[in-house]
Amino acid sequence: MTEQHNNAHLAVSLMDLTSLNTADTSNDIKQLVESINPQLGTPAAVCVYSDFVDDAKIALAARELNHVKVATVTNFPTGDAPLSDVINETLIAIERGADEIDLVIPYKALIAGDENTVLEYIQQSKKACAAQAKLKVIIESGELKTEALITKATNLTIQGGADFVKTSTGKVAVNATLEATKVMLSAIKQSGKVVGFKAAGGVKTVADAKEYLALTRSILGDDYLQADTFRFGASSLLSDVYKVLEK
The residues annotated with a catalytic role in the active site are 102, 166, 198
Mapped onto helix, strand or coil, the DSSP state of residue 219 is: helix
How far apart (Å, rounded) are the C-alpha atoms in residues 131 and 199?
Answer: 24
Cα end-to-end span (Å), the chain = 11
- Determine if the peptide bond prior to 43 is cis (ω within 30°): no
The vertex-194 CA angle with 209 and 95, nearest 5°, equals 85
Separation of CA 141 from chain center: 13
Whether the Cβ atoms of residue 93 and residue 53 lie closer than 8 Å to each other: yes
Whether the Cβ atoms of residue 153 and residue 116 lie closer than 8 Å to each other: no
Whether the Cβ atoms of residue 186 and residue 219 lie closer than 8 Å to each other: yes
